[in-house]
Structure 1
Amino acid sequence: MTTPVQALSTREAADVLGEAIAEVQSVIVGQEHMVEQLMVGLLAKGHVLLEGVPGTAKTLAVRTFAQVVGGDFARIQFTPDLVPSDIVGTRIYSAQQEKFDVNLGPVFVNFVLADEINRAPAKVQSAMLELMAEKQVSIGGKTYPVPQPFIVIATQNPIESEGVYPLPEAQRDRFLLKVDVPYPRGNEEFEILRRMSVRPPTARGILEPGRVQALQDQASGVFVHNLVAEYVVRLVLATRTPAEFGMPDLAPVIQIGASSRATLGLVAAARALALIHGRDYVLPTDVQAVARDVMAHRLVLGFDAIADNISPVQVVERIVAMVPAPTPVWNEQQRAQAREEHRYAPHHEAN
C-alpha cells in the first residue's frame, strides 16, 4: 500500500518544481526552454518530441530529467529493422510449463526515451501510437497498462534523409509538445567545454513518482477563466478559418489546421506553466508561451507555403500576434481582492 503524498500549496509546488528544473540545469548548459517544456509535458501528462541536430544534449537532457524526477527510465534506440515486439514485448513458449509466458518490453517504465523515433518503420509506429494514446500495449489479445506516471520523450534529427520514416500526422498529433532544440550560444559553448571536459556533473533526485502524480493532479486543477478558454478556442479556430480572424493571406498557406487535441493541449500546458510559475490560475501569457510548441507540429501547410520556406512556427506566431487576448479590467476593490488572494507583485498591477 502506497503512502499518501502530502498536498503542497501553490507556492510550495512552484518551489519544488523550480528546484527540479535548476537541478537539471546544473548538468545541462543552456536549453532553458527545452528543460522547462519537459516539465510542462510531465505535469500536463503529455508526450514531448524534441527536434534538433546531433550533439545538442537532447538525450542527456532526458536522462538527467528522469534522474531528477525519479521513477524508472529506459532508452530505446530506434532503427529501421526494429519490430513491435522489440519495444512492447512478446509471448514466449515455455516447454517446461507447456504454456506461453509474456515478456514485457522496455516501454514498461515511467520515462521512455525514444531516440531517433523517425527511423522506426510503420509497424513500430503503430505500436507506439497505442502506447502513447492509450498508455497500454496489446500482446496476444491481452492489454497491459504501463506504470504511472508515464511519458514518452522522443527525439528526431531534422537533417537525416537516409533510412528515415517521417512521422505520420496522426502520430505527431499525439505529442503534446514539439520543441526545437537549437545550437548553444557562444558563452554556453564555453561553459559546456569547462563543465563537461573534466568530470561531468551528475544530478540528484528531487521528486518521486507519487509526488509527480500529486503535482499532475494539482496542475489539472489550476483555474482557467472562461475568457482565457475562449481565447484558446479562437487561437485554434484561426488555424482552420484564418480569413474569419482577419488573416485571409493564411488561407492558402494552411492546408489542415490544428485539431481539437490542440485546444485541450493548450489548456493543459498553460495550466502546467502557471503552476511552475507559482500561480493557481492561467493568464493569456501562459497560453501564448506554449502556443508555438503545442500548435506548430499539428499544422499541415500547402505546397506553395513549403516552397516559399514558410514554417508552421511562423504561422503560429502570426496567429498569436493577430488574435487579441483578453485584457483584465480591475476596479479598486477587485484589485485589492486579487492582490490579497494571489499576492500580485507590484509590477503586475495596472497604473
Structure 2
Amino acid sequence: MYLPQIRIPATYMRGGTSKGVFFNLADLPHAMQQPGPIRDQTLLRVIGSPDHYGKQTDGMGGATSSTSKVVIISKSERADHDVDYLFGQVSIDKPMIDWSGNCGNLSSAVGPFAIAQGLVDASRVPANGIATVRVWQQNIGKTIVANVPIHNGLVQEMGDFELDGVTFPAAEIELAFKDPAADGALFPTGNSIDTLVVPKLGEFEATLINAGIPTVFVRARDLGFTGTELQSDINSDADALQRLELVRAHGALRMGLISDLDEAQSRQHTPKVAFVAEPASYQASSGKQISSQDIDLVVRAMSMGQLHHAMMGTAAVAISVAAAVPGTIVNQVLTSPEGNSVCFGHPSGTLKVGASAYLEDGQWRATEATMSRSARVLMEGWVRVPGACLA
C-alpha cells in the first residue's frame, strides 16, 4: 500500500552564502515536533538525502554543504529571547543530519523568518527602522542578536549591501554572536597553540578554538597549500581532501569532541578545519581581483568534506576571535595583529569580521563577534514528502 504524500508548511530562504528550508515548529506534524528518528527521516526526505548520485534531485537540497540545510524556529520561553533556533546540517550521501553545531550564514535569516511568522512580539517591530531579534541558538546554547531592517512594517529584503559569494545585493542584517565560546572554554586544551601529530602528515602546530563553531586552524604551508586555493583546486584533489580530513579528525580527538577517530565520520559538521596564510593577491571565483593590500590574511575552510565556496558564518566567528587573541595561528599571520576587526580573503572574495576578547585569570574569553549578512525569502508554501516518512 502506497500512502499519499503529506504537505508541511515551509519557507525556502537564503541566509548569507547558504540556503535552507525553514520550518515553524508549530506547523510540523506532531510526530516531528520532538527530536528523533521520525523527524530526521522526514527532513532527510525533504532535502533529498541520502542520494548516492550526490545531486539531491528528489528534494530541496542543492547538492552542496551550503545548500543542504534545515532550520526549525519556535517562539522562545527563555527570558530576554524572542525565538529558539535549531539548525540541522544534512548529509548529501548519508542518512544523517548533524545537529552538533550552528550555521552562521543561516543565522541571518532567522530574524526575518521569525518576524514574518509572527513569532516576534509586534511591539518590538517598528513600522520603519531596525527590529532587534534576540535568538537562542539551541544547538550550542548561545545568544545571537540580529538587527533586521523594517520598511512599512515588513522585513526589508532589498538593498545595496553586497556580500561576496552572493550574486545580488540585498538589505544588510547585522549579527552579534554573544559569548561565542561554549561554556567559556575558548581553547578546549587550554592552549592557544597545540602540536598535532598526524600519521602520514607528521607534526605541526594548530590552534584549536571553540568560538562560533569548534575549528582547527593550521598554517597553509604545513599542509602543502598557499591559502589562495579555489574550490576546484581542493575538491578535485582526493589526496588534499584526505589530508584535511585527517587533520580534522585528529583535531576533533584532541578537542575532546570525539573519543575515537572513527567517530569523526558520524560528526561531519564539527569541527571545521581551516588553513590560513599571510595576505596574498589572487583572483576570486567570481573573477574579482583580490589585492594583498586590502586584506589582513587569507583563509580557506572545509565544510562537510569539501572546500567551502566562501566562508561559513560560524567559521568567520572563529576567525575573528582567533585573530583577537595574541599568539594563535590566525593572529600570527595577520598584517596588523592589533584591533577588533579583520578583513580576510576567501575563495569568493573578502569578508570583514570583528570580535572582542580579554584575558581573565590567565584564560582568554570572548565577549562577542560581529559581522554583516543578508537574507531573502526564495519560496514559501508547502514541501511534500511521502506519507510513509511519518508512519
Q: Shared topology, TM-score over 0.5?
A: no
Structure with higher helix content: 1
- Give the TM-score taking structure 1 as reference length: 0.27
Q: Indicate the structure (1 or 2) with the bigger Cα radius of gyration.
A: 1
Name whichever structure is richer in strand by fraction. Answer: 2
